[in-house]
Amino acid sequence: MKKLIMSVAALSLLVACATDPYTGESKVSKTAWGTGIGAVAGAGIGALVGGEKGALIGAGIGAAGGAATGGYMDIQARRLRQELVGTGVQVQEMNGQVRLIMPSNITFATDSAVFQTSFNRVLDSVAKVIKEYNKTAVQIVGYTDNTGTVAYNNQLSLKRAQAVATYLQNRGVAANRLSVTGMGPNNPIASNATAAGREQNRRVEITLINLQ
């Protein structure tokens, strides 16, 4: 029985490997990963109930459920990449979530919570997709560089996150899906020692979390 479940796990991971069409690198798709996790979990539960036959049945049921969950996020990520191509927004997939990283050159000017003109079009595209795929929570986090006081930057980053949430809500995204946080200069993604690094750190991140 243990060998059977291990075989299911190995096969699931093999199937999960795919090539990212955007980078050419090997990666694990959310659909395939969800299928694999579901299959292994289903096999384990099925084994407890009905031995080897139960394990195989459970693996099939678990795989189907996992594929549905992973596929939902995969499709959203693909749609967002299509909508946001050429905008400078990064679309990342990790741990079953989709994250959008929006740099300051398309979001807000330094020391401001007022949108740059180009950011409206970016958020219109984001709203279009997340309204269509409405079984996700939307976490909006604002960040600054380390210039100025921590207290000021925390407040500024929160205002920026709130501005994004308000815009998305005005474009039809349900308010109960949205949450906002201001992280100030925390969690930098580049060095604050250079102007280019500080520009990268002044950003907004939107994370989509599957609620299914």
Q: What pLDDT, in 10s, does the model give residues 29-67? A: 555 545 555 555 555 555 566 666 655 555 555 554 554
Q: What are phi and psi of 165, to 5 degrees?
A: -60, -45
Same domain for 48 and 100, yes or no, is: no
What is the average per-residue pLDDT within 96-114? 95
205/207 Cα distance (integer angstroms): 6
Q: 205, 131, 132: which is closest to 169 by C-alpha?
A: 131
Task: Judge whether 210 and 72 are in contact, CB under 8 Å.
Answer: yes
Same domain for 74 and 159, yes or no, is: no
pTM surpassing 0.75? Answer: no
Same domain for 130 and 94, yes or no, is: yes
Query: How high is the pLDDT of residue 34?
Result: 57
Q: pLDDT grade, residue 21 (50/70/90)?
A: very low
Among the residue ranges 58-67, 68-77, 112-121, 133-142, the one predicted with the least confidence is: 58-67
Q: How many domains does the chain have?
A: 2
Same domain for 23 and 50, yes or no, is: yes
Contact residues for 90 (Cβ-Cβ < 8 A; gap 6+): 99, 100, 101
Query: How high is the pLDDT of residue 24?
Result: 44
Report the CATH number at residue 168. 3.30.1330.60
Domain range enclosing 18: 2-78
Query: How high is the pLDDT of residue 212?
Result: 82
Q: 75, 68, 19: which is closest to 42 by C-alpha?
A: 68
Q: Tell whether the model's pLDDT for residue 131 goes beyond 70.
A: yes
Q: Tell whether the model's pLDDT for residue 13 goes beyond 70.
A: no
Among the residue ranges 55-59, 153-157, 160-164, the one predicted with the least confidence is: 55-59
Strand pairing category for 203-210 and 97-103: antiparallel
40/69 Cα distance (integer angstroms): 15
Instruction: State which of 78, 101, 121 marks the end of a domain.
Output: 78
